[in-house]
């Protein structure tokens, strides 16, 4: 097990932050995200878990890595990292597009995933009720570039938009994404549908959602809640898509309860 700070580690597969000791807990970021978004969670959970937060290829500290245009391939990249680190059984948390990746990982690995947390995500990648369509995001990305797109999209992740405390961090992380990864991520989401696998995910699962989330509507959350076999639901009032940055104390309390942290 690892112990220490959450400094970025250069790995043959994916750069990642790792700190703490105990049962491995893997944090998977989403579209225009990166491992740096999890600093508060690594600090909080590192006392009870061996926390591992990878950067997906093309994102965060991995802008030069060849990226993937399918959720399945992104899941394989995370699995390859965990195998490289000799991680057998682990707790898995995925946010946004990372929640789609987490569903794929859980379907592939079965009982290697002891507990699953699906945060601000859904079972369908096309996001029918998103603040804008995937096609519009692609058009605006091509017209405006990654940095401006990251700022514009990040503002939708917070109840208070650009005035939110976490906005600058999320916009900065998003701007590190390669153009190739930003385009490929949109394609990956547009081609993914995980509904057929939901009934096979037998591990205890927490579905966590901010009630003001403009990326994933209640309709998507409800499908997860009603279809997953062993599921709990937590709705964070007054929080949007980046609830872990808007209300970290409440976010941590919900995780602690689900994970049995004293």
Query: Over 50: is that where the pLDDT of 136 sits?
Result: yes
Mean pLDDT across 191-214: 97
Q: Are 92 and 181 a contacting pair, CB within 8 Å?
A: no
User: CATH assignment of 8-259, given 3.40.50.620, 1.10.1060.10, 3.30.390.30, 3.40.50.1820?
Assistant: 3.40.50.1820
**Domain coordinates in residue numbering, the chain:** 8-259
For 33-81, what is each residue's pLDDT tens digit? 999 999 999 999 999 999 999 999 999 999 999 999 999 999 999 999 9
Record the tokens describing residue 113, joined without a space.
């995933």
pLDDT of residue 262: 76
Q: In what order do the strands lie in the sheet with 23-28?
A: 8-9, 16-20, 49-54, 23-28, 90-95, 113-119, 205-210, 231-236
* Residue among 97, 104, 85, 67 at smallest CA distance from 25: 85
Mean pLDDT across 5-19: 72
Q: Are 41 and 51 a contacting pair, CB within 8 Å?
A: yes
Range scoring the smallest mean pLDDT among 127-136, 169-178, 238-247: 127-136
Tell me how far apart the alpha carbons of residues 178 and 175 are, in angstroms, rounded to a whole number: 8
pLDDT of residue 216: 95
pLDDT of residue 129: 85
pTM of the model: 0.95
């Amino acid at each position: 097990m690892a112990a220490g700070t959450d400094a970025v580690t250069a790995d043959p597969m994916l750069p990642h932050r790792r700190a703490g000791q105990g049962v491995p807990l893997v944090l998977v970021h989403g579209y225009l995200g990166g491992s740096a978004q999890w600093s508060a969670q690594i600090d909080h959970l590192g006392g009870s878990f061996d926390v591992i937060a990878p950067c997906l290829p093309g994102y965060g500290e991995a802008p030069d890595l060849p990226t993937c245009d399918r959720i399945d391939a992104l899941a394989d990249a995370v699995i390859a990292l965990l195998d490289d680190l000799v991680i057998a059984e682990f707790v898995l948390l995925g946010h946004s597009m990372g929640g789609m990746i987490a569903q794929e990982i859980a379907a592939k690995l079965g009982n290697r995933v002891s507990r699953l947390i699906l945060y601000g995500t859904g079972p369908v990648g096309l996001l029918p009720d998103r603040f804008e369509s995937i096609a519009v995001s692609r058009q605006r990305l091509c017209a405006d570039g990654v940095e401006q797109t990251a700022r514009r999209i990040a503002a939708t992740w917070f109840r208070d938009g650009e005035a939110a405390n976490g906005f600058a961090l999320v916009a900065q992380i998003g701007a590190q994404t390669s153009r190739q990864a930003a385009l490929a991520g949109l394609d990956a989401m547009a081609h993914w549908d995980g509904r057929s696998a939901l009934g096979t995910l037998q591990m205890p699962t927490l579905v966590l959602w901010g009630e003001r989330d403009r990326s994933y509507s209640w309709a998507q959350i409800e499908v997860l809640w009603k279809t997953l076999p062993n599921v709990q639901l937590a709705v964070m009032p007054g929080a949007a898509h980046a609830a872990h940055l808007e209300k970290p104390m409440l976010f941590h309390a919900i995780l602690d309860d689900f994970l049995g942290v004293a």
